[in-house]
Amino acid sequence: MIRIFSLLAGAFFSLALLWSAGKGAVSYISEPTPKTVEASFHEHPKPLHLSSDGPFGTFDRQQLQRGFQVYSEVCATCHALKHVAYRDLAALGYNEAEVKAIAAKAQIPAYNPATGEVKMNPGQPKDHFPPVVYGGAGSPPDLSLVAKARHGGPAYIYSLLTGYADQAGYKNEKGEELLKKFPEAKTPDGLFFNPYFANLNIAMPAPLVSDGQVTYADGTKATVDQMAQDVSAFLMWTAEPKLEKRNQTGWPVIGFLLFATALAYMAYRTVWAGKKGH
């Protein structure tokens, strides 16, 4: 009798749990999601195809050098690369003399423990990119790992850089006009409307404002779209500089594991072939 009662109690609680889960699922599907400004007008990253994409991806050295040029001439004023050393730039195709010349343009703080003074010295290849001294409110994010830290990676960076828009008249994919649907959503003074940013309003003004903002050494036409693609590719490299080596190592490892699995299975069949039934 006690056993039957236990089974009935267990069945009751199991059914109650299933009913509760089912009700929650139905409510989630049937009830409309509350529409906020962000939910209605936030855009997902635009497609961006880089040579580093996929399991066989490799970096385009020329594009990386162009991206580094965009970073140096446009972004470096506000954003640092604290996880990158100047000697790492050799991976972009720069020779030793070029790396030394790039490093020497920077001023690296050096602390003297004897006097307590901080002296600024020209950078050397062993030095990391120095922190940015920023005079405004807050501190712009370091860009070393931003391509891995943001959902969408380089596609998000590319979309953000090319996504600044005039808020007046801006429509979402359903054709709804932002300020007509949400009059209170007007971008505050000092911020800039960008539908690819999480809350639509970003403190950073558009950094890429016109074609030809930089002059590429390889002669590539520096359109806003091209510059955004190039700096996004460069920041993908700063976030994952060992990507090529990882891809090159990964496939032989997978092949070895598959071979080892097949070998182990055949050994199992051989060892136990005459043991079954005993």
Quote the CA–CA distance of 277 and 40 in Å, as a whole number.
66
- Label each residue of the chain as H, E or C: CHHHHHHHHHHHHHHHHHHHHHHHHHHHHHCCCCCCHHHHHCCCCCCCCCCCCCCCCCCCHHHHHHHHHHHHHHHCCCCCCCCCEHHHHHHHCCCHHHHHHHHHCCEEEEEECCCCEEEEEECCCCCECCCCCCCCCCCCCCCCCHHHHCCCCHHHHHHHHHCCCCCCCCECCCCCEHHHHCHHHCCCCCCEECCCCCCCEECCCCCCCCCCCCCCCCCCCCCHHHHHHHHHHHHHHHHCCCHHHHHHHHHHHHHHHHHHHHHHHHHHHHHCCCCCCC
State yes or no: 75 annotated in a binding site. Answer: yes
Quote the CA–CA distance of 252 and 132 in Å, as a whole number.
42
End-to-end alpha-carbon separation of the chain, Å?
42
State yes or no: 204 annotated in a binding site. Answer: yes
Numbered residues of the known binding site: 75, 78-79, 204
Numbered residues of the known binding site for heme c: 75, 78-79, 204
